[in-house]
């Protein structure tokens, strides 16, 4: 049995079945079953029992058998805020810009990721965020948030 603090949690790579977690020192440990992966959160402290499996090339892997939480994460990376309240303005803005860039790429509006075009598009979507959703003003008569 070993006690670790989870630094990273990665889903299975394409064609693979095991989740991987990394300790704060960077050592990988593999979660063989999906239910085990759902019990682990980044930043949490856990007692793990595992067995070693050696591949044909001699590489040894630690495969987790059981997980027991000893300390919950100190904070979630992005906690949900109550409706109508902003949780993290920078995170919200970055998510908006990335979603719009993805849509532009998928829709063919941006053909290549050249630095000049990419920078201009990112600045455009940041401006759109700052002048609309990122700048709510209160309409005192209605008591609603007006995004412009």
What's 58's domain CATH number?
A: 2.40.50.140
| Residue range 46-83, pLDDT digits in tens | 898 988 889 899 988 888 988 898 877 765 544 455 54
Is there a domain that residue 84 lies in? no
CA distance 47 to 56: 29
pLDDT given for residue 57 in this prediction:
92
Task: Kindly report the pTM of this predicted structure.
Answer: 0.47
| Residue range 96-136, pLDDT digits in tens | 899 998 888 888 887 777 778 888 888 999 988 888 877 76
CA distance 29 to 107: 39
DSSP 17-35: --EEEEETT--EEEE-SHH
| Residue range 22-53, pLDDT digits in tens | 876 777 888 877 788 888 888 888 898 988 88
Is there a domain that residue 24 lies in? yes
Query: 33 and 94, same structural domain?
Result: no
Tell the residue number behind the tokens 């940041």, with chain if given: 126
- Pair 71, 80: CB distance under 8 Å: no
């Amino acid at each position: 049995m070993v006690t670790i603090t989870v630094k990273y949690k990665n889903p299975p790579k394409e064609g693979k079945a095991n989740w991987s977690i990394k300790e704060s020192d960077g050592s990988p440990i593999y979660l063989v079953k999906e239910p085990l992966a759902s019990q682990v959160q980044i930043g949490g402290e856990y007692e793990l029992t595992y067995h070693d499996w050696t591949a044909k090339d001699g590489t040894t892997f630690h495969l987790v058998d059981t997980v027991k939480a000893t300390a919950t994460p100190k904070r979630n990376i992005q906690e949900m805020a109550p409706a109508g309240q902003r949780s993290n303005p920078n995170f919200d803005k970055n998510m908006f810009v990335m979603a719009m860039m993805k849509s532009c790429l998928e829709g063919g509006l941006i053909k290549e990721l050249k630095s000049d075009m990419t920078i201009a598009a990112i600045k455009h979507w940041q401006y759109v965020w700052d002048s609309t959703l990122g700048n709510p003003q209160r309409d005192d008569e209605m008591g609603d948030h007006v995004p412009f």
